Amino acid sequence: MTASLFPEVRYSADGLVPVIVQQYDTGEVLMLAWMDEEALRRTLSERRATYWSRSRGEYWRKGDTSGHTQAVHAVSYDCDGDTLLMQVDQTGAACHTGTRTCFDGRALPLAEASE
Assigned architecture for domain 17-90: Roll (3.10)
pLDDT digits (tens, 9 = 90+) for 7-40: 999 999 999 999 999 999 999 999 999 999 999 9
At residue 26, the pLDDT reads: 97
Nearest to 21 by CA among 51, 46, 45, 1: 51
The β-bridge relationship of strands 17-23 and 84-90 is: parallel
Q: Are 48 and 62 in contact (CB under 8 A)?
A: yes
Query: Helix (H, G, I), strand (E, B), or coil: what is residue 93?
Result: coil
- Can you give the residue ranges of every domain in the chain? 17-90
**Model-level pTM?**
0.89
At residue 20, the pLDDT reads: 98
